[in-house]
Amino acid sequence: MKILAIESSCDETAAAVIEDGRKICSNIIHSQADEHALYGGVVPEIASRGHVEAISAVAQAAVREAGMEFADVDAIAATCTPGLIGALLVGANYAKSLAWSLGKPFIPVHHIRGHIAANLLAFPELEPPFLCLSASGGSSMIVLVRDYTDMEILGGTRDDAAGEAFDKVARVLGVGYPGGPKIDKLAQGGDDKAYVLPRSHVDGAPLDFSFSGLKTAVINLAHNAEQKGEEIRVHDLAASFSAAVSDTLVPRLKLAAEQTGVHTLVAAGGVAANSRLRADLEAMAAGFGVPVYMPPLSLCGDNAAMIGAQAYYEFLAGNTGTIWQNAFATAEISEKICQKHGIAK
Ligand code: ATP
Ligand code: MG
Ligand code: FE
């Protein structure tokens, strides 16, 4: 089964054709990052307009690169939640209109389920159940993936997402947008013990965590240094901050494995591209004697291939939507998002 998938939840307009949830036939990503960099972050209205301009050409390119015509695809999928609502609506409306006009099924997909499914493209042997550390720009959590479409959040951030923390710290240090990759690069060769930064814990909820204290600590540090006229050692601070993020996330994934007895570990989301986090996950899994799967860097950030992978399993589970399907700015990963009827309950 070949699915044409569309992703437009943030500032990437993307389309891909995926076969049976596992094979990438094409994967086109049109990023608006340069445009948003002028403003230091994603401007929702600019993102929506950018998607409108790009979506037809991107979808056509995906089908062409797969050596197909629109009529050859078996179903159309789109990210319907979570994300910027205006941005989501462009992709969702494009996809469901196309599906309707072709008489093919439409499959609404949860973006974070998609991030997790990026691993299914990279690792043919990977099957649920597994535990996933999902860390991206909008959320950070530990998810028990019982089955391809059956997920439970075991713990997560009480405030900022990991990617959000990277982006804010990058802004404070004046290293530009998007911040995560820049901080990652600066951290290379930095001393990760040079700055003492907090590691959060939440009383009574050992799998939960927080990044706002860490973020504030870095902001205060930068402001104090500025007031005193001291130089910030940017490489050292980037390394110390990256270590603090990793130290917050990795032990919780390990604890979740101990608590649940699920010993297959997976990482997902834009922050899964972080080199410190990847190294620490490898080391933890090796010490624990369990496998850890991490998407290749090309599939960590937003793309439509991951949406097409998850869409296949949603289709098998009967989770198709109608022409009445809506998009939502937020929805839990555990929720059923497909709307069969015109009026949402
Ligand atoms: P969400 O997926 O939660 O809706 P999003 O789609 O905006 O949010 P992603 O595209 O999954 O987020 O990931 C982008 C985030 O990942 C940004 O916050 C970015 O700074 C961060 N990121 C990307 N690469 C790295 C890296 N190498 N190190 C740390 N963070 C990174
Ligand atoms: Mg982006
Ligand atoms: Fe994302």
DSSP notation for 201-245: --TT-TT-B-SHHHHHHHHHHHHHHHHHTPPP-HHHHHHHHHHHH
Q: Are residues 121 and 299 in contact, defined by beta-carbon separation less than 8 angstroms?
A: yes
Q: So what's the pLDDT on residue 176?
A: 85
**HSE (CB half, 13 Å, CA atoms) of 81?**
16
Binned at pLDDT 50, 70 and 90, residue 345 comes out as very low
- Retrieve residue 67's tokens: 């050596």
> What is the best residue among 8, 109, 132, 136 to mutate for testing ligand 1's pocket, by most ligand atoms within 8 Å of CB?
136
Is this model's pTM higher than 0.80 or not?
A: yes
Closest CA to 90 of 68, 58, 133, 131: 58
Q: What is the position in ligand 1's atom list of the atom closest to the CA of 300?
A: 11
**ipTM field:** 0.99
Q: So what's the pLDDT on residue 341?
A: 66
Percent of the chain with pLDDT over 90: 96
Closest Cα to atom 28 of ligand 1: 274
Average pLDDT over residues 14-24: 98
163 Cβ below 6 A of ligand 1: yes
Q: Are residues 240 and 183 in contact, defined by beta-carbon separation less than 8 angstroms?
A: no
Closest CA to 106 of 4, 1, 28, 24: 4
User: For residue range 248-280, what is the model confidence (pLDDT) as tens digits?
Assistant: 999 999 999 999 999 999 999 999 999 999 999
Interatomic CA distance for residues 60 and 254, integer angstroms: 43
Q: Which residue has the tokens 């540090």?
A: 221
Average pLDDT over residues 89-103: 98
User: For residue range 197-249, what is the model confidence (pLDDT) as tens digits?
Assistant: 999 999 999 999 999 999 999 999 999 999 999 999 999 999 999 999 999 99
